[in-house]
Chains A and B, each alone.
Chain A
Amino acid sequence: MLDSRLRLTPPRLCLTFCLLAMGLAGLALQHAGALSTALSALFFPQADNVTQIVLHYSWWPRLTISLLAGAGLGLAGVLMQQVLRNPLAAPTTLGVASGANLALMAATLMAPWLFALGREWVALAGGGLAMGLVFLLSWRRGLAPMVVVLAGLVVNLYAGALGMALLLFNQESLKGLLIWGAGSLSQSGWEGVEFLWPRLAIGALLAILLLRPLAILDLDDANARSLGVSLKRMRLAGLGVGVFLTACVVSVVGVIGFIGLAAPAIVRLAGARRLMQRLLWAPLLGALLLASTDLLLQRFSGTLPTLIPTGATTAALGAPLLLWLIPRLALHSGHPTTANHSLMRRHSAPGRLATALSALLVLAILAALLTGQGDKGWQWLGPSQWLTLEWRLPRLLAASGSGVMLAIAGTLIQRLTANPMASPEVLGISGGTAIALIGAIYLLPGASHLALIGIGTLGALAVLGVLILLNHRSGFLPERLLLTGVAITALFDAVRAIVLAGGDPRGQQVVAWLSGSTYYVDLTTATTVAILALLLALIARPFTRWLDILPLGTPTAHGLGIDITRARLVLLGLVALLTACATLVVGPLSFVGLLAPHMARLMGFARARSHLLGAALVGAILMTVADWLGRQLLFPEEIPAGLVASLVGGAYFMWGLRRI
């Protein structure tokens, strides 16, 4: 136990960051002149002094907006995590931000006149539409957290994929937005602040009004209901306020990820257990975290070659802090688990269902191999053209193989953590691979394919090492494991966004790889992937007993004699292996890993063994069809398979959600 004087508490944490921010601000102001003149520039700028004008119209608004935006995101994060009872819930994971982003992209390309109304309103409308869709999908289930989370995830991925597709084909016209998309706090006056603060004040006021009923959500559903809380109305109100806050912030400063997730998580780790405390400290910490990051960035941006958006770097400060905290502090209260009974159907004959899916897979494979567009339009592959297979086969193998691997990895991690938001990507493994590969693409021009694969594997191994190092002592508690993974992922996302915002032409190759393309795969690699997929699927199969029992919770699993730490470690290693293999070939495909397991569940695969099989089949079909469609839709142009998978699979998944 730490000495109580040294123990980290939310106030101490905030004070530290406050001092840091003030110190940085002081340094920056010193640069511009004496503190008193800087302060006077805030209120009474002299119109003939350039420094004072810059301070008044750029520096001070920027500081203010970073504080406001950080606070708003922190508050929104607390509300969403409270309502959804999931530590991974955040403003940016539920579709608001990507909806706003998509609306801006679409408006830029198709209806630029909309911007006459104000960029904020376009973004607000986009975010609102996305969240409206989420509410619509989960309305019949009384906005049950599980359904809201699933709907939010799919809407987020869907909007993100659409945005990515637009970006891929219009990179030049959307370049400015790319910087906004990564969150830029640059200000040229007080309009942003004037737009944001009254709205944040309204949001905060509403949050305070909701305090008591929301605190009851700490109990489980039955208890909350018996205390006279209308769960549906409560969730709608809580999420509504959270969404409103997020949309306002996003519309002004762009997508600033991580703060909304990290600030609530950090104050909770530091001991703010009650909702009141979290509502107070999380916005404060969020504000200070964002402001400090931005000040640091401003200080050092002069030495960097490109303009770096702040949103991309918030994780640079927050993620190490979260990683540092996770092994040190106890997580006091887990969120109460939500009974999701009768949410998922159970198929009476999973064997028949699997057979039907296998038949579908064979059909998809035949279609992908034998049909396609050529110079004379659609055509079947005649016997004289067998050579074409040489081009089609590798892509088919790579797509289906990686689909299988990611789907299995997703099933494993979701059963291991009993968290529907968990995906192979969340663990940071694919992030690690991605960063290692991006680094290699930039630093080692002309590196061979084999060297790239080796480097990517090293990246994945390094992340796995960090995960194990930080979680070994707690016995790999799922919640900690996921938070660690999220922090690592955020760190890598930051690097990625910085790289992309730089506008380097090599970025195009990175974007193509990130969206999951099978374009660069050769036959040897593809065969290896397919064989590995089969092999690892066979390896995963014997673990089904653990996968059946682990979701019942630690006491039961322990009582039945499972060595939980070892089981989690083994499964984690397997997930890492599967994810790394798949990511190396086709890039980080978030959709398949996250939603193929859910799709299998929705179809009625219940037991771990059939769940694994179903998810693998769904993953293979989805990727095969997506790869084929991606080649045909805009022939002779191509859309990466990962994007098509998100678009096709997302549509199917939303249709499936509607029914439960």
Chain B
Amino acid sequence: MFDVKAATFEVNGKCLLHPTDLGFAEGNVYGLIGHNGSGKSTLLKILAQQQQASQGDVRLDGRPLEDWGPREFARQVAYLPQQLPSAETLTGRELIGFGRYPWHGLLGRLTREDHAQIERAIELTHTQDFADRLVETLSGGERQRVWLAMLLAQGSRFLLLDEPLAALDMAHQVEVLALIRKLCEELQLGVIVVLHDVNMAARYCDHLIALHSGRVLAQGSPEEMMKDDTLEAIYGIPMHIMTHPSGEHAIAVIH
């Protein structure tokens, strides 16, 4: 359980995140939506301990984040940065294997459990076919899935994903989100994901949090959030809600 109380973030006197109160529980997929520069990534980085909150209190399971040891924290929370670094001459399997670092540490041996987790992550992400190829030779979508596999191998309770769909085609976007959904339900993972496509977010998330200029503008279930005026306030352009031809859920279109 993540608890955010009055957390703020400032850089050079500029406030990127105004006092924010939020809670994130396991077993749910949370979608962070909002315009560029609304503070989505900042919030995610604070939760991932990539950045320290300037003020306020952020706790995981009731313990302040800074009290967690680095590896102890990484066993609970896995983070995928927005820009994937170049993995030079690593194979997919080796990269995925790095996900086990929080468990075996610098000196520990790779146990059977570690190998099993790596194989499971490869299976879940359907990366068997290219796990033994060099990461640099993979296409953008394949690479994204290999990195996601690394996060899964980490075996954490929370996944923090910063725009994981950016490099993916439509089919893979759906596939990745469906996978995240499935993991969340089967393993009771808490997933916090920054998404640009509000329709994707509404379809796969349990809870949407909209940020605007560093403040939480609105939050709620997708049904509550998928309103013309709410979306217009979030994105700053007129939006229109209609029902998907299948009649099951709402979709937003630009006027």
Say yes or no: B94 contacts A560, CB within 8 Å: no
Say yes or no: B85 contacts A553, CB within 8 Å: yes
Q: Is A1 an interface residue (CB 8 A)?
A: yes
Task: Give the residue among A340, A342, A560 with the most B Cβ atoms within 10 A.
Answer: A560
Q: How far is the CA of A552 from the CA of B154 in the complex (A)?
A: 16
A337 with B86, Cβ < 8 A, contacts A560-B74, A561-B70 known: yes
> With a CB–CB cut-off of 8 A, which chain A residues contact B141?
none
Stretch at the interface among B54-62, B95-103, B119-127: B95-103
Q: How far is the CA of A545 from the CA of B145 in the complex (A)?
A: 22
> With a CB–CB cut-off of 8 A, which chain B residues contact A556?
81, 85
> With a CB–CB cut-off of 8 A, which chain B residues contact A560?
74, 98-99, 101-102, 154
Say yes or no: A561 contacts B73, CB within 8 Å: yes
Q: How far is the CA of A563 from the CA of B85 in the complex (A)?
A: 19
Q: How far is the CB of B191 from chain A (nearest CB, A)?
A: 15
Q: How far is the CA of A344 from the CA of B88 in the complex (A)?
A: 8
Say yes or no: A559 contacts B106, CB within 8 Å: no
Closest residue of B by beta carbon distance from A552 = B85
CB within 8 A of A558: which of B49, B87, B154? B49
The majority secondary structure among interface residues of chain A is loop
Interface residues on B, range: 20 to 34
> With a CB–CB cut-off of 8 A, which chain B residues contact A558?
48-50, 70, 79
Closest residue of B by beta carbon distance from A570 = B106
CB within 8 A of A339: which of B72, B86, B94, B98? B86
Task: Give the residue among A1, A339, A545, A607 with the most B Cβ atoms within 10 A.
Answer: A545
Say yes or no: A559 contacts B89, CB within 8 Å: no
Say yes or no: B50 contacts A561, CB within 8 Å: no
Q: How far is the CA of A67 from the CA of B90 in the complex (A)?
A: 49
Say yes or no: A559 contacts B48, CB within 8 Å: yes
Per-position contact with B for A316-355: 1 when CB-CB < 8 Å, else 0? 0000000000000000000001011110101000000000
> With a CB–CB cut-off of 8 A, which chain B residues contact A346?
89, 134
> With a CB–CB cut-off of 8 A, which chain A residues contact B85?
337, 551-553, 555-556
Say yes or no: A545 contacts B73, CB within 8 Å: no
Q: How far is the CA of A607 from the CA of B50 in the complex (A)?
A: 26
Q: How far is the CB of A635 from chain B (nearest CB, A)?
A: 43
Q: How far is the CB of B150 from chain A (nearest CB, A)?
A: 9
Say yes or no: A561 contacts B72, CB within 8 Å: yes
Instruction: Please report the number of residue pairs spanning A and B whose Cβ atoms sit closer than 8 angstroms.
Output: 78
Q: How far is the CA of A344 from the CA of B87 in the complex (A)?
A: 12
Q: Is A479 an interface residue (CB 8 A)?
A: no
Closest residue of B by beta carbon distance from A558 = B50
Per-position contact with B for A536-565: 1 when CB-CB < 8 Å, else 0? 000000110110110111011011111100
Q: How far is the CA of A341 from the CA of B106 in the complex (A)?
A: 27
Q: How far is the CA of A421 from the CA of B199 in the complex (A)?
A: 47
Q: How far is the CA of A548 from the CA of B73 in the complex (A)?
A: 20
Q: Is A409 an interface residue (CB 8 A)?
A: no
Q: Is B136 an interface residue (CB 8 A)?
A: yes
> With a CB–CB cut-off of 8 A, which chain B residues contact A340?
86, 88
> With a CB–CB cut-off of 8 A, which chain B residues contact A548?
90, 94, 98
Q: How far is the CA of A1 from the CA of B10 in the complex (A)?
A: 12
CB within 8 A of A563: which of B70, B80, B90? B70
Q: Is A606 an interface residue (CB 8 A)?
A: yes
Q: Is B71 an interface residue (CB 8 A)?
A: yes
Q: How far is the CA of A340 from the CA of B89 in the complex (A)?
A: 9
Say yes or no: A562 contacts B70, CB within 8 Å: yes
Q: Is B13 an interface residue (CB 8 A)?
A: yes
Q: Is B78 an interface residue (CB 8 A)?
A: yes
CB within 8 A of A559: which of B79, B87, B90, B107? B79
CB within 8 A of B101: which of A341, A543, A562, A607? A562
Q: Which of A562-603 contact B (CB under 8 A)?
A: 562-563
Say yes or no: B86 contacts A341, CB within 8 Å: yes
CB within 8 A of A342: which of B70, B71, B137? B137
Q: List 20 A-B contacts (CB under 8 A).
A: A337-B85, A337-B86, A339-B86, A340-B88, A341-B136, A346-B134, A548-B94, A549-B101, A552-B98, A553-B81, A559-B50, A559-B74, A560-B74, A560-B101, A561-B69, A561-B70, A561-B71, A606-B88, A606-B90, A607-B90
In the complex, the 8 A-B pairs of residues with the closest C-beta atoms, listed nearest first: A561-B74, A341-B136, A561-B71, A606-B89, A559-B79, A561-B102, A555-B81, A553-B85
Query: Which B residues fall within an 8 A CB radius of A?
Result: 12-13, 48-50, 69-75, 78-81, 85-90, 94, 98-99, 101-102, 106-107, 134, 136-137, 154
Query: Which A residues fall within an 8 A CB radius of B?
Result: 1, 337, 339-342, 344, 346, 542-543, 545-546, 548-549, 551-553, 555-556, 558-563, 606-607
